[in-house]
Amino acid sequence: MPPTPSIVTPDVVRRIAELARLRVPEAELPRWTEQLSRIVGHIDLLKQIPEEAFGSPPAEPATPLRADSPEPGKGDEALRANAPREMHGFGAVPRVVGAGG
Amino acid sequence: MPALTAVGVVETADAVASGRRTAVAAVEEALARVEASDARIRAFLEVTPQAALEEARAVDARVAAGERPPLAGVAVAMKDNMWVSGRKTGCASRILEGFRPPGDSTVAARLRAAGAVFVGRANMDEFAMGSSTENSAYQVTRNPWDLDRVAGGSSGGSAAAVAARFVPAGFGSDTGGSIRQPAACCGVVGFKPTYGRVSRYGLVAFASSLDQIGPIARSVSDAARLYRVIAGVDPRDSTTADVPVGDPEGALGRGVAGLRVGFLREAEEEGLDREVAASLDDARRIFRDAGADVVPVSVPRTTVSISIYYVVASAEASSNLARFDGVRYGPRKSDADLASLYVETRTAGFGPEVKRRILLGTFALASGYYEAYYGAAMRARQLLREDFDRAFDAADVIVCPSIPGPAFRVGEKTDDPLTMYLSDVFTVPASLAGLPAISVPSGLTAGRLPLGIQILGPRFAEEKVFAAARAFEERAGFPDDLPPAAAV
């Protein structure tokens, strides 16, 4: 029987790279596709676990909450120290709307 | 008296706290060793002598004022993904170049309060993704036992710095074995506490449901001292549990008489390396001779743990690393428009392994694949946890190897990511189940490379783990020689 074709194709890699905000050059696509296919092939071992083995997941413990009152943070200071470009206490980015506004 | 860097955490701290040595002298010795030998090992990305000596002087002043801090003058190598005030934090990544954290991580704050001194940023796999420290964007850390071999990873810099006797203490983060695996490769002790035991505030997130900080040291008692200082609930990390830490150092002398020590059956079924199998047989004999009740235990789903791990960890990583986009930190590439700012910054800033994990995680979470991959992995993770619960009905602690073989050669696995991932096969199960686990050196191979034995306990049963680890360490008799490549 021929091996099952991998579901990770060059088109899938292109699509997930776009979702992940990464650029994968066309020349590198075959290598990424081959590596990810092998990894996903190994992950497919999970399919050997029969559905009936899965019960309902237990309830997660409640998240502890602190008092609902403001506390001073270090956000502004950290931003000023680390932002590649900062204006008026905000991280500055390129214009996101067209010239016509 | 031997040079302080040649002795451990407890001896250093006790000597400094009692006024027999100064913190400045202890730290100067550590800095001198780094200066003499780190060009070969490359454990540190950056050494900060001025800040370290300033901190050491402050510790000496506290001791002079009558304080007895538990880590007085202990020089520490911090993995480059934990915030230390006044230092940079870079995760060994270009994308975080120059980042200065807004303060101490909770772990750094607790270490500072306990009198520890930070000598530098230890090398790591970029964003803690790797098993060899070859994925650092800056340098490859070498194994002090053989410079042609890797130090393990991802906390390879911290493990190598301790093994080479530069510092008595290292700190790492463990997501799928990143403390225990390099510790085993370098012949030192590495401990991952229960998930929820140590605050992750100020640890740059990789996979938030798995990440845990822990110590690397040359002995189990040193690891217990370091762990005691950093453990405990923290309001800044809502996953920390309000469960008493107990007395891990007091537990060291308890021994294992009557303790049920379970040997993991699945670990022995998978074509185990001959020398690893022999070290496991030795461990079985050691525990039996020490009075333990040695029993076989089974955790069936450990056989699919690598599959579960690489879905869950990559999915969480793809989400956590979305914040690195050139807007708030690091060097920005392209200002043409917002979309290319994101894409160009991330493409230039992340290395190949980080990109691989982001792509894999994005795939597992993408519409059309989510249920078959992320959903299935989460359900299988729950089954694995239940398997462990049942195994701990039959045994108090569980033993298995830490690594499937000794440290491999530099470059041996870099072109084969799947084979690299499989080096975590024995450490990933405890991470997925959130269990405390320690790696203790078990001996040297015929080629004089270290191997390690791992001891796992139920959640929050750190005391049991330390008691069993100390009993094993005492009888295993790992050589106390300086690793050959670390000799000045």
Find the CATH number of the domain harbouring A14. Answer: 1.10.20
Q: Which is higher by pLDDT, B335 or B426?
A: B426
Q: What is the pLDDT of residues B351-399, one digit of tens each?
A: 999 999 999 999 999 999 999 999 999 999 999 999 999 999 999 999 9
- Chain B contact for A29 (CB, 8 A cutoff): no
% of chain B exceeding 70 in pLDDT: 98
Of residues B208 and B336, the one with the higher pLDDT is B208
pLDDT for B487 beyond 80: no
Residues in chain A within 8 Å Cβ distance of B330: 82, 84
The dihedral over CA atoms of B5, B126, B153, B353, expressed in degrees to the nearest 10, equals -160
Query: Chain B window 356-385: which residues touch A at a Cβ cutoff of 8 Å?
Result: 356, 358-360, 362-363, 366, 369, 373, 376-380, 382-383
pLDDT of residue A53: 81
Q: Is the pLDDT of residue B1 over 70?
A: no
Kindly tell me if the per-residue pLDDT of B32 is higher than 60. Answer: yes
Which is nearest to A25 in space by CA: B352, B138, B358, B374? B352
Distance separating alpha carbons of residues B237 and B199, to the nearest angstrom: 6
List, by residue number, the catalytic residues of B: 79, 154, 178
Average pLDDT of the segment spanning B293-306: 96
* Among B434, B342, B321, residue whose Cα is nearest residue B91: B321
How many beta carbons lie within 10 A of that of residue B245, not counting itself?
Answer: 18
For position A88, what pLDDT does the model report? 85
Residue A63 DSSP code? P
pLDDT tier for residue B6 given thresholds of 50, 70 and 90: low
- Supply A13's token pair: 């890699």
Q: Do B148 and B409 contact (CB within 8 A), yes or no?
A: yes
pLDDT band (50, 70, 90) for residue A72: confident
Report how far residue B175's alpha carbon sits from residue B318's, in angstroms, rounded to the nearest whole number: 15
Residue with the bigger pLDDT between A65 and B436: it is: B436
Q: Which domain holds residue A28?
A: 10-49
Element (H, E) at B296: strand B293-297
B307 compared with A79, residue with greater pLDDT: B307
Q: Say if residues B361 and B315 touch (Cβ distance below 8 Å).
A: yes
Interface test with A, best of B199, B310, B362, B425 (most A CBs within 10 A): B362
Is B100 within 8 Å of A53 when comparing Cβ atoms? Answer: no
pLDDT tens digit sequence for B100-128:
999 999 999 999 999 999 999 999 999 99
Q: Would the pLDDT of B140 be above 60?
A: yes
| Number of Cβ atoms within 10 Å of the Cβ of A71 | 7
All residues of chain A having their beta carbon less than 8 Å from the beta carbon of residue B362 are 16, 19-20
Q: What is the pTM of this model?
A: 0.96
* Residue B4 confidence (pLDDT): 41
**Does B3 have pLDDT greater than 60?**
no
pLDDT at B209: 97
- CB–CB of B108/B169 below 8 Å? no
Please state which of the ranges B6-15, B172-181, B213-222 shows the lowest mean pLDDT.
B6-15
Please check whether residue A85 lies inside any domain of the structure.
no
Q: Which residues pair with B142 in a beta bridge?
A: B150
CB-based contact B276:B404 (threshold 8 Å): yes
* Nearest CB partner across the interface for B360, out of A39, A48, A64: A39
Mean local confidence (pLDDT), B133-147: 98
Task: Measure the CA–CA gap between B166 and B6, rounded to whole angstroms.
Answer: 8
Is the distance from CB of B345 to CB of B334 less than 8 angstroms? Answer: yes
Q: How far is A77 from chain B (nearest CA, A)?
A: 7
Residue B185, pLDDT score:
98
Residue B271 has a pLDDT of: 79
Q: Mean pLDDT across chain B, nearest whole number?
A: 96
**B interface mutation test: which of A9, A15, A16 has the most B CBs within 10 A?**
A16
Any A CB within 8 A of B304 CB: yes
Amino acid at position B1, single letter: M
pLDDT given at position A3: 61
Domains observed in chain B: 4-255+398-486 (3.90.1300.10), 303-378 (no CATH)
Size of interface A-B (CB pairs under 8 A): 133
Residue B319 in this model has a pLDDT that exceeds 90: yes
ipTM of the complex: 0.92
Tallying the residues shown for chain A, one arrives at 101
B98 touches chain A (CB under 8 A): yes
Query: pLDDT digit string (tens) for B39-91?
Result: 999 999 999 999 999 999 999 999 999 999 999 999 999 999 999 999 999 99
Contacts with B453 (C-beta within 8 Å, 6 or more apart), sequence order: B279, B280, B283, B399, B400, B401, B402, B439, B440, B442, B472, B476
Number of independent structural domains in chain A: 1
3-state secondary structure of A46: helix
* 8 A C-beta contact, residue B432 and residue B422: no
Contact B329 A84 (CB under 8 A): yes
Residue in A with minimal Cα distance to B366: A16
Query: CA dist B27 to B50, B104, B224, B239, B418, Å?
Result: 11, 20, 21, 34, 41
Asked if the model's pLDDT at residue B468 lies above 90, the reply is: yes
A16 with B366: Cβ contact below 8 A: yes
Instruction: Residue B101: list chain A partners with CB under 8 A.
Output: 78
Question: What is the tens place of the pLDDT at every residue in B208-264?
Answer: 999 999 999 999 999 999 999 999 999 999 999 999 999 999 999 999 999 999 999
Peptide bond into B319 cis (omega under 30): no
- Distant-in-sequence, close-in-space partners of B179: CB < 8 Å, separation ≥ 6: B155, B159, B172, B173, B190, B191, B192, B214, B215, B216, B439
In this structure, are strands B437-444 and B450-456 parallel, antiparallel, or unpaired?
Answer: antiparallel
Is the model's pLDDT at B2 over the cut of 60?
Answer: no
CA–CA gap between residue B424 and residue B292 (Å, rounded)? 28
The pLDDT value given to residue A98? 67
Q: What is the mean pLDDT of chain A?
A: 86
Q: What's the gap between Cα B449 and its chain centre?
A: 19
What pLDDT is stored for residue A2 in this prediction?
58
Of the pLDDT bands very low, low, confident and very high (cuts 50, 70, 90), residue A101 is: very low
Strand B260-264 and strand B293-297: the pairing is: parallel
| Cα B12 to the center of its chain, rounded Å | 22
